[in-house]
Structure 1
Amino acid sequence: MTVVLAELTKLRSVASTAWSLLSAVCLIVGFGILYSTARASHPPAAGSTFDAVAVSLAGVQAAHLAVGVLGVLVVTNEYANGLIRTTLAAVPRRTPVLWGKAAVLGCVTFAVSLPAVLAAFLAGQSVLAAEHLDTSLTEPGVARAVVGGAGYLALVALLGLGLGTVVRHTAGGIAAVFGVLLGPQMLTGLLPTGLADDVYGWLPSPAGLAVTTVRPDSALLPPWAGAAVFSLYIAIAMCAGAWCLRRRDA
């Protein structure tokens, strides 16, 4: 508990925390409204599998880079200013430091993201209602998608934390986050169409974002399967970070 409280104090005392979270909130709500407006101005054809929930939550994908960067900064800032030596001297076992950072970062990111995702959903549905494309929060799968959007962002923050612990350098950690979230999707464009379609849903970002959908999408895994696959990616990143933290000198 002492480690968690210490990490919470450090997270609150860094200006980048507020700016990263504010950026994420603005992207979640702002991009969700803009994309909902664009889709409302071009209504889908009759019988299409239009997903009103995914449209209003499009800002979640825009915001994941902001929280990923926050995850990197949580650990690399300490390496940059030398505070990591004091931290590890106070907690010689080292890994509790990483788990404490993960607990604080994940909870704070989720707590900030959930109201923003809910606001994006409500605002987006009010825009889509003009074309009778909206849906209700009480419809099956909708609440899961809203909560899942906030959960996805919390996991992305942990991805940044894990990669930042491995790289230990801000620029390199941010590049690694961008590479993991965006790189594989770019590379699939080089694959044959059939193979690219089979691989796409298993990539980190599409797998995680599957939980924000309600209508079935042939390009994505089912919501809970996608969440499980994305969680596995996060576990790998965090375990790699823990291994590096234990093995390397501060």
Structure 2
Amino acid sequence: MVQVKFECELLILGAGWTSTFLIPLLRDEKVGYAATSTTGRSSTIKFIFEPDASDSTAFKVLPEARTILVTFPLRGTGQSQKLVDFYHQTHTSRPHYIQLGYTGIWRGDGQTVWLDRHSPYDTTNERAMAEDELMQNGGCVLNLAGLWGGERSAQRFGRRAASTKEKLKGKGSLHLIHGRDVARAIYAVHRAWPGASRWILTDRFVHDWWALLAEWGSEGAVEGEEDATGEALVWVRELMEEEGVKALPRSVEKMGRAYDSTEFWNKFNLSPVRARL
């Protein structure tokens, strides 16, 4: 067996928003890491994954790693396989692969309210196809709920949702996960590798769009004792009257879809530390 000298424990392909939470955690835990970006900014490795590339030359700049985190979306068939093959062609190590996905591949059947990682998903979705391909290579997929924290303000979601009453009417549940908890989840998977698998990751709350807009108003979150303002307050009141909703938040049955991420948190003996807003 060839002895592999790992140059880093975790290689982050795509040092974007997630890395702003993950890198500080890795530093705190004294875990060796490397990260790439398309420009090589801030001491990252300049690297671009080209799905149409015909050879693995670009991969030679990457270090030998124990785990590789893919933060950017891969789509359709062939891209995940090419990424794995090209890395293997240029390196001795055979790392574990983690892909960050999204929960949008689960749409439900209109009857089943609670959806977990075992629920049927849209296998024709291009991102799901690439994730499945990575799992066929032994990879692990973390399907993330709505991301917030740092430069991503959950309240901005509210402003988009409140653009019209009709748009707000169709809003049911909202699922979120904070960047801090995404980082903790990635680190947990790296430390206790679960094998080829797919997981749903939320903060274990099912948020109600109507309730959030009733709290925030149309302009986003209010501070301290400030009043919520805007047309959204009127729309929520009118919609509650029209739909016979006596109090908020609505039940998950009323909202129509709820993601259950219990299995992940139990598997890795963790709890979200940035739940709620």
TM-score of the superposition, structure 1-length normalised? 0.29
The higher relative CO (CA closer than 8 Å, separation ≥ 6) is in 1
TM-score (norm 2): 0.27
Mark the structure with the bigger radius of gyration.
Answer: 2
